[in-house]
Amino acid sequence: MRRIIVLWLFLPLLFAGCASTSGLLEDKADGVSKKYRIPPEKARDAALGALAWVDAYDIEEHKDAGCITAELPVSAFSYGGVIAVWIEKSGTASSKVTVLTRRSLATTVGTPLTEEEFHERFVKAAKIVRSGKRLPKEEPD
């Protein structure tokens, strides 16, 4: 009986702070932004490719917010996460890409993908998209 009581007391703490993609949309200012010499349409394709390379799922485009959200998979070190990618026009043929990730579970040590790791993959994908080639299904080395 004592174990059940303890479980009921700590269960809400375990799920406190669980992140959702909808919650990210309001936290854009907390994201990591970088500018790239790629038009927004191609930046969108590169972002979708970078998300595919990390096996993101439930990818949704929020055109009114200029944002793409997705769920990140569970890994050995993480119970998954959520990510939001905002793409804005910046000059004539450039884009500002802002990325924000959150852990799915507050008690998890880290996210399966950091903002910097996303930007690294985005650079790879952007080079391929700019060259006019199709993005491979697997991330190139």
- According to DSSP, residue 108 is labeled S
Cβ neighbors of 52 (< 8 A, separation 6 or more) are 135, 137
The helix/strand count (H/E) of the chain reads as 4, 5
Domains and CATH numbers, the chain: 17-130 (3.30.310.220)
Q: What is the pLDDT confidence band of residue 44, given thresholds at 50, 70 and 90?
A: very high
Q: What pLDDT digit, counting tens, does each position of 73-120 carry?
A: 988 778 899 999 999 999 889 999 999 999 887 777 777 899 999 999
125 burial level (CB within 10 Å; 0-12, 13-18, 19+): buried
Q: Please state, in angstroms and rounded to a whole number, the distance separating the CA atoms of residues 37 and 11.
A: 47
